[in-house]
Structure 1
Amino acid sequence: MDIDLPSGLRGNSVRSSNGCWTCKLRRKKCDEKHNVCGICASLEITCYYDQDKPEWMDGGARQEEMAARLKREVKEGARRRGERPVPPSGDRISFAEATIGEWEVLARHHPRVLSTSTSMADRPRGAADAHTDVMESRHEASAIPPQRGPDCTLTRMGARESMAIGRSDTVLLMFYMEDLLPFTFPFYCPSLLEGGKSWILDMLISSPVVRQAALCQSSYFFSLARGTADREGAWDTVLKQTRDAFEVLRQSLQVIGNSSITEHLHGAVRILASIMQVQRFEIAILSFNNCRAHLNAALALFKQLLDSAGSDQEADPQSSFNAILARLGPLSWSLPAQCAEIPSAEQTAFRFSSTLLIFDDIIASMLLRQPPSLHKYHQSLLGSSVNGPENPINLEAVVGIQNWVLLQIGEIVVLDAWKQQCQSTGTLDVMELVQRATIIKNSLEGHLTRLETSSIVTSKEASSLLNVFTADYCQQSKARTSQIHVVTRVWAHAALLYLFVVVSGWQPASADVRYHVDRMLELLAHQISTPALLRTMVWPFCIAGCLAEPAQELYFRDLVEALQPPSIFGTVRKALEIMENVWRNRSASDAASCGIAACFKSQGELVLLV
C-alpha cells in the first residue's frame, strides 16, 4: 500500500509473483510488461526485471537502501513531469496555496490514499458533508446568540445538520477517546471545571473533518490490537479510513480556499485540528514523506487565522490569539450556579492544535537548520517564565514539557541558523556566537536548577468536590506533576547538548557532553514511572544516544527493548535506528561538519520525532 508501515507490520507476500523486483519492493501490483512495466514507466523509475533475485533484495539494510533510492526516483520523476513541488516551510505563501496546493501534491504521490478524482457517488459520507461542516462555521459565528446557560450547547447542536455515525465508527471513536488519546498524550488531563475532554467528543460528533482524522488513527491501532488474524481485511479498513480522512480535508480546504477565512473561522479550526491529527498518525506509522507538507499547510492556516484578527493586533500575537479565541465563542454552557463556564469545542481545539503546531515547528526547524516559522510568536505565546495563566500556550498541559525549555530550544535553532548563514558568507563572529549562546545556557541552567531543587506543588483543583468521582485524583495529580518535572529535565539536558554542538561542534568526549548524557540516562532509567513515557521524550533520547559512548550503547538499546509490542513504539525504534547509524560511523565521521541535524538527515527524510 502507499503508506509506509513499520517493517514488523508488513506482510511477507508481494503483490505479484511474476512482476518486476521494483514493484515487489514497493509492494505494488505489477502489470508484468517486459522489459519495463507500466508502473515503473509511468513513474520514470528504474524497472528491475531480472529473472534472478537481486543481491540487494536481502531483507536487510541493502533492501532498505534500495527502497529509499526508489522513493527518491519517484520524487525526481514527479519534478521532471512538472508536478508542483512542496515549498520550503520558511516561505511566505498564501493560505490557499499552502493548503490546497500541497494537498494536491500529496494526492499525486499517494493516488490510492488521496483519491482526488473520486466522484460524488464514491466519496465517503464524511467527504460529502465536508462542505456542510465548513459552511456551518458561518452560521455558528453569526447566527448563534451569545447566550449562557445549559441550553446553549443544545442550541449549537441544533444549528448543525445531524450526522449519523455507524456502529463500527462508534466503537472506533470510543477506542480513540478512552485508549488512544491517553496513550498519545499521557499528560493531557484538562480540568473537569473546564469541561475536561468533552470538546473532543463534541468535535468527533459534529465535524466530519475531525472524525475522519480520528478514525484513521483508531483503525490503525485497533487493527494492531486485533493481532494478525485478518491482516488484509484490517489493512483495507485502515486504508479506507485514511483515504476518507484525506478526502474530507481536501474538500474542506477547497471550500475555505475559495473565500475569506473569516467566513469559516470554526471550520478552519477544525481543519487545523485534523491536519495535526493526521500528522501524528503518519508519524506513528513512520511515514515521514508528508510531514513537511502537513506542517506547511498547518503553519499557513495558523498564520492566516491570527492575521484575520485585524491589523491592530499585529504588534501583539497574544492579543491576536485571544481575539481568535473570543470569536470562536461563545462559551458553550455554564453550570446552573454560574460557578464554571465551559469553553467551546473550537476554542479548546484551537489552543490544543496551536500547542502541537508550535512544538512541531520548533523540532522540524532544528532538523532543517532554519529559524522556526512561528518564532516571532514564541515570546508572546509561550512567555519567558514557567507556565502560568498568562501564557496562551501551555506545553506542559498537552505534551508534559514546561514552556521555558521549548522557548530556549527555539532560540538555539535561531542561533544555529544564524551561525550557518554567517559561515556561508565568511562573516562569523565567534565572540558574538559565544555571547548569544551564554545567554541561552544561563537561562536553561537556571530553570533546570530551580526545577531540580523545588518541591512538587499540585493544583488547587485537587480540593474540588468534582474529584470525589476520581478517588485517587490527588495521588494521580502529584504523580503527573512529578513526571512532568522529569520529562522537562530530560528535555533541558538535551537542549544543553544541542547548544554545545551548535557552538563547539561534535565533541562527544567533552566533559559537559558526558555530564548531560549521564544525567539523562539516569533520569530515563530510574525516574520515569513507566517505560512507555519514553514516547514523550524521543527527540532528547535520540540526541543523547547519538552522543553516547560505546559503553553506553547497551543502555539505550535496553530502554527501547523494554517497550512492547514494538509496533506501538515506532518512533522510539526509529530513534534507535538513527543512533545505530551514528555509532556505526563514529570513526568515519567528520567532526567539523557533523551536527545534530546531520544525524537525522542521514535517513533521507524530515524525521519528525514528536
Structure 2
Amino acid sequence: MAGATTSTSSAPATSAQAAAKKSSNRSHKRSRTGCFTCRLRRKKCDEVKPGCKACKNLGLQCQYKRPMWWSDQGERLSQKEKIKNIIKRTKLTEKTYSAVPINANSPPSLCNSVPTSDGFSDSVSKTRAASVDSQLSEFNMSPPQMYGMNMPLPPYEPSCPPYPGYAPYEVDIKTECQTFINDIPTRRDSTISSFSAFQPPSVGGSLAPESWVHQDFFEQQEEFFEEPLDFNFLELPHGSTVPSYQAIIQVDEADQPLLNHFIDRVVPQIFPVLEVTQYGSARAEMIFPALESNKSFLHCCLSLAAQHMVSTRCARDVDEEQKTIDSALDHRMKTIKELCDAMVTGTEPSQILESQLGMILFQCSVGLPNDGLHDPIPWHHHFEGATDVIARLDLANSLVALNGNPSAQIPFNITLAAWVDILGATMLGRSPVLADAYRQKMLAGASTGLAELMGCEDQILYLISEIACLESIKLGMDDSTLCSHITLVGKQITLTEQNAGPIGSCYSSSGALKPKQLRHNITAMFRIAARIMLCSMVPGFNRRQPMVINLVEELTTIMSFIPAGADGLDKSLVWPLLIAGSHSLEGSGFRAMFAERAGLMGEEAEYGSFGRMKELLKDVWAINDANLAKGDEENVHWRDVMQQKGWDFLLI
C-alpha cells in the first residue's frame, strides 16, 4: 500500500460555515472576555458584575450574556449607533476633562525638552509622587450618573460606517486536508481559523483569544475629543479600497499552528502604535496579502512564529519543543533560499524588500536575549540588501519628490526602511544610509510617515538622523567645532517644541484612546532621548550632571502617560528607554518606574527588543554603578556592553 499523502489549500470560508463555526464555539469560554458592550466599543472592561465601571459611568446597558445583536453585523452597527447617541447625551451633562496641566519654568539650552506651554520641566519630577499621581486620580474620576443602566436605548438613526478612512479586516482562513491511499481519496477534513477586526477569534479554533484594544472611533468625532488621525496617509503595499480582506493562505498542514500563532500572537506586537490607532489596517492591507503572495515573507513569518512559541514555552514537552526549534530553522533556510532565488532572477524587487524588512523588524518582536535562535545574519546585513533594492527602485528620490505634496501617500515599505535606517544607525554609531534624503525632508517640513507608524513626529526622527551623522564624524573634530554642531542641533530640537502639544493622559474620561494625544506623548519621549544622546557627545559629559538627571526624570514622568501593561505601548519605546535608562543613576525614579512597568508587562517584558534592552540595561547599570562606587565616574557606553556580550541586535 502506498503511503498516505496530504495536500493543503486555503479558501475563504462561506457564511454558512462561519455561522456553523460560531455556533459550535459558543460553549467555549474565554478566561478574560469583558461585557459585550465594551467588546463592541473596543474598550477595556474590568468585568465587574452586574455592571462594569465603563458601562456604569456612561449609562450603558452592561451585558455579559451574549445578546442577539452580536451575531449579526448589521445589528452590531445599529447597536454601536445607539451607544453613540447615549454617550452624546451623557457627555452633555459632564465637564470636559482636559489633559493635566503642569506649568514650570523650562530649563535652558540643550536640556529644554518638553513644550513650555502646558508642558513639563525638570521640576516636575521632584513632586511627581505627590502631585502627578493625585491629579491623575482626579482626572479619572467618574462622570455624573444622569442615565440609569437599564435606560431604554434611543431609536436607531442611520449614519456613516463606523470606521471611515481605512479598511478593517474580516478574515477566515480555511485549511482543507485530504488523504489519498493509492491515489484514491479516502478522507477529507477541514478546519477554519478566523481573524476579525470586529470580534476576537473563537477559543474553539486553534487560536488563543486576542486582547482588546483601547479604541472608540465614534467618540473621537465628538466636540469633546480631538480630530482623528489621517488613516490614508501611508500607502500600504497591497492596499485596496474594499472594506475588508479575505485571505487565502496556502500552508502545509503541519505549519497551520505556526501560521495561527503568528497572526494571533506575533502580529499585534510588530506595529504597536498602528494596532491602537489604526486597528487591523496593517494586517489587512500588508501582512495578510504578503503571506498569501510572497513565499519568502511567509517562510520568514513561520520561522519567527516558531521562535516565539519556543520563547513563550508553548510546547507541551521536550520533543514538541525540539520539533518547533527545527521548524524555526527550516523555515529560516527556506526564507533565505526564496530570497536568493528572487535576487538571481531579478523578479519582484518589491517582494524582496518586503521580506528583508520583515526579517529585520519582525525579529524585534520575538526571541529571548540568549535563546540561541536569533538570526545568525546580523540585521544590518539584511538591511544592506534592502538598501540595494531601494536604490534599484529609486525609492529615496521618489520619497524626496513627494515634498510639497500634502496629499501624497508615502509607500509603507520606505517608511519601514526609514525607521530601521535612522534608529539602526544609532545602534552602529554610523550615519543613516539615506541621511541626505531625511535632511531634505526636514528642510521641506515633509513627512515620511514615521509619525503614523511609530507615534513620533518625523522632524524628531530627522534630527536623530543628524545626531547619528554627527556622532559618526565627531572623532575628526576639535572640541570647539563639535560643541558648535551640538548647539546647532540642540536649537533645532528646541524649535520642534514651539508647536508641540501638551503632555497629558491619552485616554478620555470614558476610556477612549486619543491618538493625537498619544502622539504628543511619544514624540516628547523621543525628543528627550534625542537630547540626552546629543548631550552625551559634549566633551566632559557626565551622567551625574543636573541637566542629565533632569532630562531622565522628565522622561520618567511622561511614561506615566503611556499605556502600560501587557497590552500597553512600552514595546514601542525601546529606543528612548534605552537611551535614557543607560544614563540613569542608582536609586533614580527611572529605574523604579522601569521595574514597575516591566512587572506589569509580565512575560511580554522578557522577549523581543524590550527583553534584550532590559537585559542590556541590567549589565550597563551593574558596571556603571560599580565604577561609581569606586569613585570612577567614567560611564561605559551601552554599545560597548553589547559588543562585549557579542550582541548585534536592533533595539527598536
Shorter chain as denominator, the TM-score bin is: 0.5 to 0.7
| Structure 1 residues 588 and 283, CA gap change in structure 2 (3 angstroms) | farther
CA contact (8 A) 1:538 1:575 kept: no
2:387 corresponds to which residue? 303
Aligned mate of 2:305, from 218, 224, 234: 218
Per-residue CA deviation, residues 431-489 of structure 1 (Å, 9 max, x unaligned), is 3222211221122223235324389999xxxxxxxxxxxxx9x975x433322322221
CA contact (8 A) 1:508 1:514 kept: yes
Offset of 1:168 from its aligned partner? 5.3
Read off the aligned partner of 2:463 and give its amino acid letter.
Answer: Q
1:447 corresponds to which residue? 496
Aligned mate of 2:290, from 181, 199, 203: 203
Which whole-Å CA distance do the structure 2 matches of 1:373 and 1:293 have between them?
19
Which whole-Å CA distance do the structure 2 matches of 1:594 and 1:505 have between them?
14
Does 2:595 correspond to 1:557?
Answer: yes
| Structure 1 residues 352 and 291, CA gap change in structure 2 (3 angstroms) | farther
Read off the aligned partner of 1:512 and give its amino acid letter.
Answer: M
| Structure 1 residues 449 and 572, CA gap change in structure 2 (3 angstroms) | farther
| Structure 1 residues 291 and 414, CA gap change in structure 2 (3 angstroms) | farther
Offset of 1:407 from its aligned partner? 1.3
Does 2:587 correspond to 1:546?
Answer: no
Which whole-Å CA distance do the structure 2 matches of 1:293 and 1:520 have between them?
34
CA contact (8 A) 1:369 1:417 kept: yes
CA contact (8 A) 2:424 2:650 kept: yes
Greater RCO, CA 8 A, separation 6+: 2
Q: Give ranges in structure 2 of 5+ residues lacking alignment.
A: 1-239
Normalized per residue, the structure richer in helix is 1
Moved over 6 A (4+): 192-196, 287-292, 454-458
Q: Specify the SS of the correspondent of 1:551.
A: coil
The 5 Å alignment of 1:199-598 reads: 199-223=286-310, 227=314, 229-237=316-324, 239-259=325-345, 261=346, 263-277=347-361, 279-280=363-364, 285=369, 293-309=377-393, 316=397, 318=399, 351-380=411-440, 383-384=442-443, 390-391=446-447, 393-420=448-475, 422=476, 428-448=477-497, 450-453=499-502, 476=512, 478-524=513-559, 526-531=560-565, 532-552=568-588, 553-565=591-603, 566-568=605-607, 570-581=611-622, 582-587=624-629, 594-595=636-637, 597-598=639-640
Per-residue CA deviation, residues 4-62 of structure 1 (Å, 9 max, x unaligned), is xxxxxxxxxxxxxxxxxxxxxxxxxxxxxxxxxxxxxxxxxxxxxxxxxxxxxxxxxxx
| Structure 1 residues 507 and 295, CA gap change in structure 2 (3 angstroms) | same
Read off the aligned partner of 1:246 and give its amino acid letter.
Answer: R
Which whole-Å CA distance do the structure 1 matches of 2:473 and 2:311 have between them?
44
Per-residue CA deviation, residues 204-255 of structure 1 (Å, 9 max, x unaligned), is 1222211121122223334555656324413421x23322332222222322
CA contact (8 A) 2:564 2:601 kept: no
CA contact (8 A) 1:508 1:547 kept: yes
Q: Which moved more, 1:187-196 or 1:505-514?
A: 187-196
Offset of 1:406 from its aligned partner? 1.8
Offset of 1:518 from its aligned partner? 0.8
Offset of 1:573 from its aligned partner? 2.5
CA contact (8 A) 2:552 2:583 kept: yes
Tell me how large the CA RMSD over aligned residues is. 4.0
| Structure 1 residues 556 and 404, CA gap change in structure 2 (3 angstroms) | same
Read off the aligned partner of 1:529 and give its amino acid letter.
Answer: P
**How many equivalent residue pairs?**
398
CA contact (8 A) 1:307 1:320 kept: no
Which whole-Å CA distance do the structure 1 matches of 2:429 and 2:515 have between them?
33
Normalized per residue, the structure richer in strand is 2
Which whole-Å CA distance do the structure 2 matches of 1:246 and 1:594 have between them?
35
Offset of 1:418 from its aligned partner? 1.4
CA contact (8 A) 1:216 1:241 kept: yes
The 5 Å alignment of 1:18-97 reads: none
Q: Specify the SS of the correspondent of 1:502.
A: coil
| Structure 1 residues 442 and 456, CA gap change in structure 2 (3 angstroms) | farther
The 5 Å alignment of 1:62-211 reads: 164-167=250-253, 169-189=255-275, 197-211=284-298
Q: Specify the SS of the correspondent of 1:562.
A: helix
Which whole-Å CA distance do the structure 2 matches of 1:499 and 1:289 have between them?
34
CA contact (8 A) 1:365 1:372 kept: yes
| Structure 1 residues 321 and 450, CA gap change in structure 2 (3 angstroms) | closer
CA contact (8 A) 2:364 2:650 kept: no
CA contact (8 A) 2:270 2:362 kept: no
Per-residue CA deviation, residues 134-183 of structure 1 (Å, 9 max, x unaligned), is xxxxxxxxxxxxxx998xx99xx9xxxx9732455444434433442223
TM-score by length of 1: 0.56
Offset of 1:201 from its aligned partner? 0.9
Q: Give ranges in structure 1 of 5+ residues lacking alignment.
A: 1-147, 323-340, 423-427, 459-471
Which whole-Å CA distance do the structure 2 matches of 1:295 and 1:445 have between them?
33
CA contact (8 A) 1:535 1:571 kept: no
Which whole-Å CA distance do the structure 2 matches of 1:484 and 1:598 have between them?
32
Read off the aligned partner of 1:530 and give its amino acid letter.
Answer: A
Read off the aligned partner of 1:585 and give its amino acid letter.
Answer: N
Read off the aligned partner of 1:217 and give its amino acid letter.
Answer: L
Which whole-Å CA distance do the structure 2 matches of 1:219 and 1:194 have between them?
24
Q: Specify the SS of the correspondent of 2:645.
A: coil
| Structure 1 residues 357 and 586, CA gap change in structure 2 (3 angstroms) | farther
CA contact (8 A) 1:370 1:413 kept: yes
Does 2:650 correspond to 1:608?
Answer: yes
Offset of 1:529 from its aligned partner? 1.8
